[in-house]
Structure 1
Amino acid sequence: MVRSDLIDRIAEENPGLTQSEVETIVEAFFGAIVGQLNSGGRVELRGFGIFSVRSYGARAGRNPRTGEPVAVEAKNRPFFKASRQMIERLNTVR
């Protein structure tokens, strides 16, 4: 599922909202998550999971073609951990 599929699905399930209103809501939702992670926080959605940021330090890597050493800069990466309820829902027999 991509963002446009999500917007279409929410719009179908909520006939009182227009496509552009749903798009605005989805954009605001994702923007709030990214903003919270950018400020060093985490986002916990009960029954779904936790979004957080993990920091990775600088290290020496290798160019896979030439084998030459390459400096890899420090970076932050988003991390998601599914909740216990989500894992249980995914593993129930249907």
Structure 2
Amino acid sequence: MNKQELVDAVAKRLGITKGRASEITELFFSESGVIAAELRRGGKVAISGFGNFETRTRAAREGRNPRTGKTITLKASTVPAFRAAKALKELVNRKR
């Protein structure tokens, strides 16, 4: 499911226009949305029964330039991460 399909599903489920559903979706998932804003502040977004959005720190490490083969040092970085809740994992793995 891509973003447009998500918008369509939200519109249908809530009985609202696709424009309004797009606004709601953007509120959560855009670069300026609430999830990204909280992660930028170093916070965590916990959605009960769904999962947690959080940041993790990747340590500096050695890498290799694929074009030249030269070894380079990759800086430490902060990356977004998602950890699914137990309820979501069980739902996904439930036999149909």
Shift of 1:8: 0.5
Task: Give the superposition deviation at 1:60.
Answer: 2.0
In structure 1, C-alpha distance between the alignment counterparts of 2:14 and 2:53, rounded to whole Å = 27
Q: Gaps spanning 5+ residues in structure 1: where? A: none
Q: Provide the secondary structure at the position in 2 that maps to 1:54.
A: strand
Give the letter for the 2:17 counterpart.
T
For 2:63, the equivalent position in structure 1 comes to 61
Question: What fraction of aligned residue pairs are identical, expressed as a percent?
Answer: 39
TM-score by length of 2: 0.88
Question: What stretches of structure 2 of length at least 5 have no aligned partner?
Answer: none
SS of equivalent to 1:79: strand
Determine which of 71, 74, 77 is the counterpart of 2:76.
Answer: 74
The residue identity in structure 2 corresponding to 1:28 is: L
Corresponding residue for residue 23 of structure 1: 22
Partner SS for 2:80: strand
Q: RMSD of aligned C-alpha atoms?
A: 1.2
Match of 1:33 among 20, 35, 45: 35
List structure 1 segments (4+ residues) > 3 angstroms apart after TM superposition.
Answer: none
Q: Deviations over 1:5-55 (max 9, x none)?
A: 00001111222x221111111111221000000100001011111110001
Which residue identity does 2:24 align to in structure 1? I
Q: TM-score, normalised by structure 1?
A: 0.90
Aligned-residue offset at 1:65: 4.1
